[in-house]
Amino acid sequence: MSVGQNGRWPKAFLKPIMSFAQHGPGYLSLPYEALFDDRVIVLKGRSMGLGRAEVSHLKGILMHDIMIRGGLVYDGLDPLPQQLDIAIKDGLIQAMAANLTADAKVVIAAEGAIVAPAWVDIHTHYDGQVTWDSEMNPSASHGVGTIVMGNCGVGFAPVPKGGEQDLIDLMEGVEDIPGSALHEGMPWGAWETYGEYLDLLETKTYALDISSLIAHGAVRNFVMGARGRANEAATQDDLNAMSDIVEQALRDGAVGFSTSRILGHRSITGDPVPGTFANEIEVLAIARAMKRAGSGIFQLIPSSTLGSGREGFEEHTALSDEIDLIAKLSRESGRAATFTLFQVDDWRDQWQLALKQVKDHNALGAQIFPQVGSRPTGLVFSLSTYHPWMLKPTYLKFKDLPLAALREKLKTPEIRAALLTEANDPRGVAPGSMTFGIAHAELNHAQIFELTGSSSYEPTAEEAFAHRAAAQGQVPGEYLLDYLLATPNAMAIMFFTNYSEYNLDAVRAMQMDEVTVTGLSDAGAHVSLIFDAVNPTYQLTYWGRDRSRGEVLELGHLIHRGTYRNAQLFGFTDRGHLAPGKRADINVIDFEGLQLGPLEVRQDLPAGGKRLMQGATGYWATIINGVVTRRFDNDTGARPGRLIRGGTAGAQ
């Protein structure tokens, strides 16, 4: 009996097939692969009188979308890998086993590669870029499948009508994203409330999934206006309004709340960001809003994160007191909190004391997860981006020359001498701009090193420019200038965290600690100054394979922290773990051949804005929501990524 004869399927055969098609593999008691193989065998045998059309139709119902064959699978949870095939259909992992025999529309040969969940990056600043870009680089090029933006207390919602410039000034000052790009690239007027901002993002598609924190700076600015930007104390009415906005934002889909309390975070005008000096009453009011909403992570940059400051620029609160406050916030809200933690030169061992303090608080009911980086944080200098001579009067005369002509002009003895001796001319330059900051910075030449695409980020003290300058009988500033002038596109980097002892042992210890989480990529921010968005690839290549100046980190440990652990922290329970029923967000990586690419300055932001970029080679495939978004390091054009709202299936 066949469809061709009377238009009906045999009931005994139709019921299990259609049950599978409607409900997926978990609906039947039979193992999925066994069911599939049995039916394929039946179909191939033409039993039960099925015709060719019926065979073809049933194969279409049962066939997987993608089969990844023969890869060494790190599932994100188990530190030990297994050689497995992975079957994917309708955005989900359907089966994982050795030597699956089922068919698929697309087969990815993964022999010789590792297979792992796509990375979950919990510290980014794509708040503007998501409104004009769908590819989501630099993150997409490094295997990231989910991002959290809105960190550090800066974001773009809520925004008063016509009040976008104040939020642009905050983002440009704190995160060094060109204000012109934000002004021209974003569809201002399309939202006012935070929920409306998310509604706009929900209409868009991306190469990866996005999620957002609601930012203290935006909330304070919306409620208090100029008083909020001036960091005046909030009134009770202000507190009530801010609490209501945060609670509603969480109910609308924010995955948490962020704030910055560090003096170094300033608006383009030079003023500390709104919320820097928020008192305990204000932050506890926010914590109670989070408790009422019953969702969200509290993200902070504490005062004294980078040390106690300097004379006339002292931080307002000791880090230990900030951690006590964070513990109180966590207990009051019932929510987890994460804060930035570095090793800094002011106190090389403070990070160890901070971790002990966190563990003591967690033992008493707090949920605190210090967020740590993968390498030193550094400021990049080049003639194409930022450098210490940007405000020298002589440089300003020639700054608009093409780069090659500029280099030759600056090499002339009289101009070179002027650059090394002149005072800055800051007229017309915003005091909170990175141009102003770099030009007036006290450079630590003992922490400045050559930078190339293959830099290890673990150089020796003898490689520092201070040491090299002394060896050549030069002052360090002279050596730096000559280095940047010597070759086209030369770059140097000045470390300011995580390198007090000229090795990465402290970073490794932080990465090994059970209470920390991995983050701080700042992807989408500091676009011409810091490029730690490449951290997923750096972790695999340097920490997982190439480090020679100390112990590496086990690959399973690195992958767990960058995928499952981060996903769990933010409640993204459907991803970060390769298992049947989980989202098919997967990387197939040529681990032995994986490399970071060359550094380059691209002028591809709105309004011609520049950004520093570094790609990678070795990602054979990135799959997001069961769709191949990148193949052999190239964008496929597919855009299966969507907005994740807190409290939904992807964020609980």
Binning pLDDT at 50, 70 and 90, where does residue 34 land? Answer: very low
The confidence score (pLDDT) of residue 18 equals: 43
**CA atoms of 262 and 302, how far apart (whole Å):** 6
Domain ranges of the chain: 1-62, 119-377+499-633, 379-495
Cβ-proximal residues to 60 (8 Å cutoff; 6+ apart), any chain: none
| 443, 477 contact by CB (below 8 A) | yes
For 407-458, the pLDDT digits (tens) are 999 999 999 999 999 999 999 999 999 999 999 999 999 999 999 999 999 9
Exposure of 13 in the CB half-sphere (CA atoms within 13 A): 20
Q: How confident is the model at residue 470 (pLDDT cuts 50, 70, 90)?
A: very high
User: Does residue 61 register a pLDDT over 80?
Assistant: no
pLDDT-based confidence at 30, cuts 50/70/90? very low
Say if residue 112's pLDDT is above 50: yes
The closest alpha carbon to 261, from 216, 227, 320, 293, belongs to 216
Contact 299, 341 (CB under 8 A): no
Q: How confident is the model at residue 57 (pLDDT cuts 50, 70, 90)?
A: low
Q: What pLDDT was estimated at residue 49?
A: 47
Residues of the chain with pLDDT > 70, as a percent, come to: 90
Res 229 pLDDT > 50: yes
Please state the pTM of the whole predicted model. Answer: 0.91
For range 290-307, the mean pLDDT: 97
State the chain's mean pLDDT as an integer: 92
Query: Which one, of 54, 33, 11, lies nearest residue 45 by Cα?
Result: 54
Tell me what the mean pLDDT of segment 344-359 comes to. Answer: 96
Helical axes 236-252 vs 216-224, angle rounded to 10°: 130
CB atoms within 10 A of CB 649: 11
Q: What is the pLDDT of residue 186?
A: 98
Residue 495 β-bridge partners: 378
Q: Reply yes or no on domain 119-377+499-633 having CATH 3.40.50.1980.
A: no
> What is the pLDDT at residue 540?
98
Q: Whole-angstrom Cα distance, residue 93 to residue 580?
A: 5
pLDDT of residue 486 exceeding 70, the answer is: yes
Encoding tokens for residue 518? 């991995």
Find the mean pLDDT for residues 207-217: 98
In percent, the amount of the chain with pLDDT more than 90 equals: 88
pLDDT at site 313: 86
Residues 373-411: tens digit of each pLDDT: 999 999 999 999 999 999 999 999 999 999 999 999 999
**More reliable by pLDDT, 567 or 312:** 567
pLDDT band at residue 647 using 50, 70 and 90 as cut-offs: confident
Q: What is the mean pLDDT of residues 235-262?
A: 98
Look at residue 175 and tell me whether its pLDDT is greater than 60: yes
**Number of Cβ atoms within 10 Å of the Cβ of 485:** 18
pLDDT of residue 310: 85
Q: For the beta carbon of residue 598, count every other beta carbon within 10 angstroms.
A: 11
Strands (E), 203-278: 209-212, 214-215, 256-260
What is the structure's pLDDT at 59?
64
Residue 457 Ramachandran class (φ > 0 left, ψ -120 to 50 alpha, else beta): left
Q: In what order do the strands lie in the sheet with 297-301?
A: 214-215, 256-260, 297-301, 337-339
Element at 119 (helix H, strand E):
strand 119-121
